[in-house]
Amino acid sequence: MVIEVTSADPDTIGADLVAVAPGAQASALGAPERAVADADPVAIVYRQLGAPLAVVALEPDFDGLRTGAARAVRACRRGGTVAWKLDESLAFTTAEQVRALAEGAVLGGYDGRRWRSGEPPPAVERFVICGCDEALTPVADRAALVARWTNTARELVDAPANLISPAGLAERAVKFDHLVSETVDPVRAGLGALAAVGGSSPIPPRLIVLRHAPPRGAGGLGAGGSDSPRLSLIGKAVTFDTGGYFLKPQSDILRQKADMAGGAAVVAALGAIAELDLPLSVTGIVPACENMLSGTAIRPTDVITTAAGLTVEVTNPDAEGRLILADALWYARRDGATHIVDLATLTGAMRAGMGDVYAGVFSPDADWRDAVVQAGNATGDLAWPWPLHPRYRTLIESTVADLRNNAGTSFGFPIVAATFLQQFAGDGPWAHVDMLGPALLDEDRGDALGAGASGYGVRMLVELATRLSGEAAT
């Protein structure tokens, strides 16, 4: 979808639907009082002259505007062009409005029903923000770019595991422009944990590495000098998690095509960061595999050797995410990462506790944790700080190896998982985002995203990289 910004009147741009918030603007465009009152959330008015008018009720906040734009796009069933009349009486700067509307329109245009046969329904191709200073075009462009990459992550997550395998994910990622990519065979590279989990499937595991280098001559904080930050983004990509010999129950297994949502967010964030050409060195590291039930699957109590050299007794083969992330963390530090964030659909308990709204963020470095939380909350990827404490370490002590991969107790799952990862995070800032709740939405939360894959993490990571690079986002 193309987003345009124009000072023109919405009735002059060839729109198939004109959209407006309730109020004076709606009346001026010909909406009767009743339509304004009936906008719950959208009322369509067929006017004698001009395209149909959608009066879109708005919650009075930034996310409300995003949602309004998405609703206008979805209300335009015949596809084509939606014209949104900007309302300067709203309590936002025009730039904020443009950012929210552009993002909401692109997110609202996503349609997850890609595998239906027959003609696809007509799509909205143009969303024009009318009555607006055209100098704000770059604001719209940036918001639309990040939202488009968020939709790429949603596509990858919504895709079933028979279509997105580790190799399939790698194939998609290596085609992205401006990125240097590499696909590592974990068996050859000595990534013992990724090799062990992935060995459960006839489809081989892969470590996908994507690199964005700052543009030459860039002056940002991260512009490539020896003391500039090198950000590594790590994403869990278990393309299907059966639970292995701790086979998941039916209701849980149905969600497991989304167990690569962290990896999808990292891949898409790298795509966005490269397209924005941020003045920062950013590497995406995505351990990708299946966790299947087979003759070559890990047996509960097997001991495996991780790339870092630490041995792990696998007391729960369904706690596989932390195993593959352990090798990815080691790889990132060996690669020279100064700052690391990992994203993963790691523990069901996170969803039980936080619902589908917030992800939890863990880090022994409070500043880095807060940077991640704030980047998320500023962009709609809501995040909340969670604790770590040395006392949790005893819960993952093994009687036969350096560590066990889960606690023998039935509490504290998200923190135990983060504590396990901490053993591999090396020196320097590291944060872990457990995004199980918001990654895959069973129901429409009433926002721009609707049901299905949310693309959680893309907006957060792009914002974090932007802030670290010293560039202003808009």
What values do phi and psi take at 62, rounded to 5? -60, -45
Nearest to Zn ion of 4, 320 (CB atom): 320
Residue 255, interface with ligand BES (CB under 6 A)? yes
Reply yes or no on whether 248 is catalytic: yes
Residue 198, interface with ligand BES (CB under 6 A)? no
Residue 103, interface with ligand BES (CB under 6 A)? no
Give 340's strand partners: 232, 430
Residue 275, interface with ligand BES (CB under 6 A)? no
Residue 232 CA to residue 192 CA, distance in Å, equals 21
Task: Tell me how far, at minimum, the Cβ of 347 lies from Zn ion, in Å.
Answer: 9
Residue 320, interface with ligand BES (CB under 6 A)? yes
**Among 322, 333, 351, 459, which one carries the catalytic annotation?**
322
Measure CA 36 to chain center: 35
Out of 155, 290, 318, 447, point to the residue binding Zn ion (CB under 5 A).
318
Which of the stretches 26-34, 116-124, 215-223, 347-355 binds ligand BES when contact is defined by CB under 6 A? 347-355
Question: Is 114 exposed, middle or buried, given 0-12, 13-18 or 19+ CB atoms closer than 10 A?
Answer: exposed
Out of 23, 190, 300, 348, point to the residue binding ligand BES (CB under 6 A).
348
Question: Is 89 exposed, middle or buried, given 0-12, 13-18 or 19+ CB atoms closer than 10 A?
Answer: exposed
Residue pair 315/298 in contact (Cβ under 8 Å)? The answer is no
Measure CA 61 to chain center: 22
Out of 101, 193, 267, 319, point to the residue binding ligand BES (CB under 6 A).
319
Residue 166 CA to residue 203 CA, distance in Å, equals 8
Residue 200, interface with ligand BES (CB under 6 A)? no
Residue 287, interface with ligand BES (CB under 6 A)? no
Residues in contact with ligand BES, total (CB under 6 A)? 18
Task: Tell me how far, at minimum, the Cβ of 407 lies from ligand BES, in Å.
Answer: 8
Residue 395 CA to residue 296 CA, distance in Å, equals 28
Q: Are strands 2-6 and 124-130 parallel, antiparallel or unpaired?
A: parallel
Q: Distances in Å between the alpha carbon of 291 and those of 301, 304, 338, 355, 393? A: 16, 15, 30, 25, 26
349-361 as b/e: b if 16+ CB within 10 A = bbbebbebebbbb
Task: Tell me how far, at minimum, the Cβ of 168 lies from ligand BES, in Å.
Answer: 19
Helix (H, G, I), strand (E, B) or coil at 66: helix
Task: Tell me how far, at minimum, the Cβ of 319 lies from Zn ion, in Å.
Answer: 6
Residue pair 243/318 in contact (Cβ under 8 Å)? The answer is yes
Which residues from 402-441 bind ligand BES, rule CB under 6 A?
Answer: 406, 413, 436
User: Which one of Zn ion, ligand BES, none interacts with residue 436, CB within 5 to 8 A by kind?
Assistant: ligand BES
Task: Tell me how far, at minimum, the Cβ of 151 lies from Zn ion, in Å.
Answer: 24
Out of 200, 315, 347, 419, point to the residue binding ligand BES (CB under 6 A).
347
Measuring CA to CA, which residue among 139, 37, 35, 146 is closest to residue 86? 139
Question: Is 74 exposed, middle or buried, given 0-12, 13-18 or 19+ CB atoms closer than 10 A?
Answer: middle
Residue 4, interface with Zn ion (CB under 5 A)? no
Measuring CA to CA, which residue among 67, 49, 46 is closest to residue 58? 67
Residue 240, interface with ligand BES (CB under 6 A)? no
DSSP 8-state assignment for residue 307 = T
Reply yes or no on whether 322 is catalytic: yes
Which of the stretches 61-69, 174-182, 263-271, 341-349 binds ligand BES when contact is defined by CB under 6 A? 341-349
Residue 321, interface with Zn ion (CB under 5 A)? yes
Task: Tell me how far, at minimum, the Cβ of 351 lies from ligand BES, in Å.
Answer: 7
Nearest to Zn ion of 16, 241 (CB atom): 241
Q: Distances in Å between the alpha carbon of 210 and those of 42, 185, 333, 399, 461? A: 42, 15, 15, 38, 14
Residue 318, interface with ligand BES (CB under 6 A)? yes
Residue 342, interface with Zn ion (CB under 5 A)? no
User: Which one of ligand BES, Zn ion, none interacts with residue 290, CB within 5 to 8 A by kind?
Assistant: none
Which residues are known to be catalytic?
248, 322
Q: Which residues of the chain form contacts with Zn ion (CB under 5 A)? A: 238, 241, 259, 318, 320-321
Q: Which residues of the chain form contacts with ligand BES (CB under 6 A)? A: 241, 252, 255-256, 258-259, 316, 318-321, 345, 347-349, 406, 413, 436
